[in-house]
Amino acid sequence: MHDRAVGYFRGLQDRICAALEAADGVASFREDSWDRPGGGGGRSRVIADGAVFEKGGVNFSEVFGELSPEFAKSMPGDGLTFTATGVSLVLHPRSPLVPTVHANFRYLTHGSKAWFGGGADLTPYYPFKEDVVHFHRTWKGVCDRHPAVAGYARMKKECDDYFFLKHRNEARGVGGIFFDHHDATEEMGAFVREAGDAFLSSYLPIVERRKALAYTPEQRAFQEYRRGRYVEFNLVYDRGTVFGLKTDGRTESILMSLPPVVRYVYDYRPAPGSPEAELTEYWLKPKEWADM
């Protein structure tokens, strides 16, 4: 299972990067191959200063070795030995009308335990209902084709619960699906492969619809302010960030998820009734988007 997962995730990284370069039309990915002290390594690919993507990363890794006794207790399994492989990506578009997106798919072992995890979620700044519905329907379709191991309602709720900033009492975005610690059965592996393959169809149609739309400096400033929420989540709550740092992963690759330009405004309050206020008052409240 490990070798098959490695082969699949390597190929997935290649396919996603090629499609994103074509969508951007200007920038291409820079690749850094790296080795991890203790075992394994990866390929980090970063795109920057493009026509569409201001910054983005699509990372592949395959690492192994020993966990610290303290960290090992926080994970399913036994002993200290572990393996982990997967693809993780975050894309920060230049336009505030194109949403940020995150996805990751991974396979891990810890002693006698092996499992899959992953998911995808969307973080818009000026949402369009058509886009949010499309994103959720894509993931619901994948889940519905694997009912024995994947339930869309459950994975959607897990996503809403996970990508939530407790200190703000606020969701990071409009959700998607999230799953973790699912036993590494053949059925689960098939679901993860189809989910990985579905990423481009979940996101690129949104990019194509919005990338040429005009936007104002005020909308751009709001995007930079909202990007601060992304930074807060990734540095405070994100399990992937914690896992990478605690297992001596490559810091540059782990933190590639952070946006390039962020604006922190003290006690920011959007004008009542404005699109900026509507983001938190309506769009960031969990809804049954796939049924709309």
The CATH number that applies at residue 166 is 3.40.1500.10
Could you tell me the pLDDT band of residue 253, with boundaries at 50, 70 and 90?
confident
- Domain region containing 154: 2-291
Total domains, the chain: 1
102 catalytic, yes or no?
yes
Higher pLDDT among residues 245 and 29, named by residue: 29
Kindly tell me if the per-residue pLDDT of 248 is higher than 80: no
Cβ contacts of 213 within 8 Å, gap of 6 or more: 95, 97
- The model's confidence at residue 37, banded by pLDDT at 50, 70 and 90, is confident
Dist CA 56 CA 257 (whole Å): 7
What number is the average pLDDT over the span 113-140?
98
Q: What is the pTM of this model?
A: 0.95
pLDDT band at 249 (very low <50, low <70, confident <90, very high): confident
Residue 176 CB contacts under 8 Å (≥ 6 apart), including other chains: 119, 120, 121, 122, 135, 136, 139, 156, 159, 202
Q: What's the whole-number average pLDDT of the chain?
A: 95
| Among 102, 110, 134, 182, the one annotated catalytic | 102
Q: What does the pLDDT average to over 201-216? A: 98
Q: Counting beta carbons within 10 angstroms of the beta carbon of residue 7, is it exposed (0 to 12), middle (13 to 18) or buried (19 or more)?
A: exposed
Under 8 Å between Cβ of 46 and 57 = yes
